[in-house]
């Protein structure tokens, strides 16, 4: 199962992704500063404009947390710091 949430603030684009299996869970939280991103006015090859506010960047930062399932819930196994993450966000029309 995967839960995905992405939001745009005044200064950042923020991603939260939670993935679960029967035995494990991974939570990824990434932010990318808009000042380091490009705002594209993308037009598809067929001439249609399918995205509004398409942000692209490569300076995302955040964490990836890995958990194993136990009888008491989830136990944190490792936390990975991520930098220079490729980031893309846009509203599909």
| Averaged pLDDT, 34-41 | 92
**What's the pLDDT tens digit per position in 48-82?**
888 778 899 999 999 999 999 999 999 999 999 99
Judge contact between 81 and 66, C-beta under 8 A: no
Structure tokens belonging to residue 20:
């679960």
The tally of CA atoms less than 13 A away on the side-chain side of residue 65 is 10
pLDDT of residue 49: 84
Residue 22 is predicted with a pLDDT of: 96
Question: What is the count of structural domains for the chain?
Answer: 1
pTM attached to this predicted model: 0.85
Range of the structural domain that residue 17 is part of: 2-92
């Amino acid at each position: 199962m995967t839960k995905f949430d992405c939001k745009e603030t005044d200064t950042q684009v923020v991603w939260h992704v939670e993935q679960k299996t029967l035995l494990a869970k991974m939570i990824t939280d990434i932010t990318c500063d808009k000042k380091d991103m490009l705002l594209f006015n993308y037009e598809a090859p067929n001439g249609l404009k399918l995205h509004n506010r398409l942000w692209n960047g490569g300076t995302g930062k955040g964490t990836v947390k890995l958990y194993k399932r136990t009888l008491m819930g989830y136990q944190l196994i490792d936390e990975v710091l991520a930098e220079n993450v490729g980031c893309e966000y846009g509203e599909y029309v």
